[in-house]
Amino acid sequence: MRRGIAASALVAALAVSLAACGSSGSSSSTAGNGPVTITYWDTSNATNEAPTYMDLAKKFEAANPNIKVNFVNVPFDSAQNKLQTAMGSKGAPDVFRSEVGWTAAFAKAGYLTPLDGTPALADSAAFQPSLLKQASYQGKTYGVPLVTDTLGLLYNKALFAKAGITAAPTTWDELKADAATLKDKTGVDGFEMRAGDGYYAMPLLFGEGTDMVNTAAKKITINSPQAAAAVETYKSLFTAPGTVKADLTSDGYAHMMDAFTTGKVAAIINGPWEITNIYQGSAFTDKTNLGIAAVPAGSAGKPGAPTGGHNIAVYAGSDAAHQAASEKFAAFMTSATSQTEIAQKNSTLPTRSDAYTPALTADPGIAGFQAILPVAQPRPELPEYSSLFASIGTNLGKILQNQESTQAGLDSTAADYTKLLPGFGK
């Protein structure tokens, strides 16, 4: 899951123990026959999501009086580096919320314990197989899928209707045509795209039948003709009539979301993690005004979007007692009941079918994203995959500012990938 907004000052308030005597890191101890205290690093948004996870941790404690939870909220943007540092030295949490792209990398480094055959994966058959695959590395499962997400086309139904548009666009050319119509008929910008962020450009790559790399062939494909065509289409989404020019400022994401939630732009590409914020906007006091469709398709003829989300992972450096308690905690947090509660309060997508209750799917945001999950593409089993986004994001920014050509920018990215993936060819 990608986020463009920083965690608020509430992080400081949430970085406290649920237990009266919990300590930071996996060094928390058991006194005699007293309770085991496990440290859990939560990487969700402190304002909109963390309170739900904190409530669940309290419920877990109530159901398991011999286990206490030291709940620490860590800002998502800095969590990967903090986890890497902590697990490589000391102070690592016993259990934590891991972005799907981190799991394989941490497993490769030996930081995670396999969960196959443990209480954490007792309900493995209930989870979507593709999501369990994303939590795996070299045949072993190192995380329990907690929430999933993907990117979709989010649009303002009222503005589309005012412009006489009766259905969401299914191709990028249709999207550009609709953007022009929306601007002409309503005076509102038709479409805005997150600029200079490789994750948001993935639907363009998938739409041309390619990816940043071909893992099976061990080949770098980011500078292929298909990728160049994808980026040319991406560039056009910022310059076509009715589209918003590229906002590469540090507040670009916030500007896009403010424009959409207040009805100043009719459509964007984003994920389910923003649903609760969207519902708070003046343009969506009526939740049914939010339209959700699959991302448009490219020349390959099929839409495709990245699969994101988070797993619960257990630190391999904890002792047996803390690992056992952490496995129980992972099972509780990913149970059908817990996932339904998380989805109801945070508008995120469960990873198991039995969590999609009728009450949950009555939410148009949840139902809308559930419907487009089939076009989401799981990430390959490549520990370095999440690290690939940095270079492509930087070079997309340069391409959008005409500081380098499309091909030069992609060639520069490919050169960076060669350093990250020495076994891959071009």
Task: Give span(s): CATH 3.40.190.10, the chain.
Answer: 10-149+307-377, 152-306+381-420
Domain 10-149+307-377 has CATH 3.40.50.880: no
Average pLDDT over residues 63-78: 96
- Residue 205 has what pLDDT? 98
pLDDT tens digits along 136-195? 999 999 999 999 999 999 999 999 999 999 999 999 999 999 999 999 999 999 999 999
pLDDT of 82 strictly over 50: yes
Residues in a beta bridge with 310: 99, 147
Whole-structure pTM value? 0.85
- Residue 387 has what pLDDT? 92
User: What whole-number percentage of the chain has pLDDT above 70?
Assistant: 92
- Residue 276 has what pLDDT? 87
- Residue 33 has what pLDDT? 63
- CATH T-level topology, domain 152-306+381-420: D-Maltodextrin-Binding Protein; domain 2 (3.40.190)
pLDDT tens digits along 251-297? 999 999 999 999 999 999 999 989 989 999 999 999 999 999 999 99
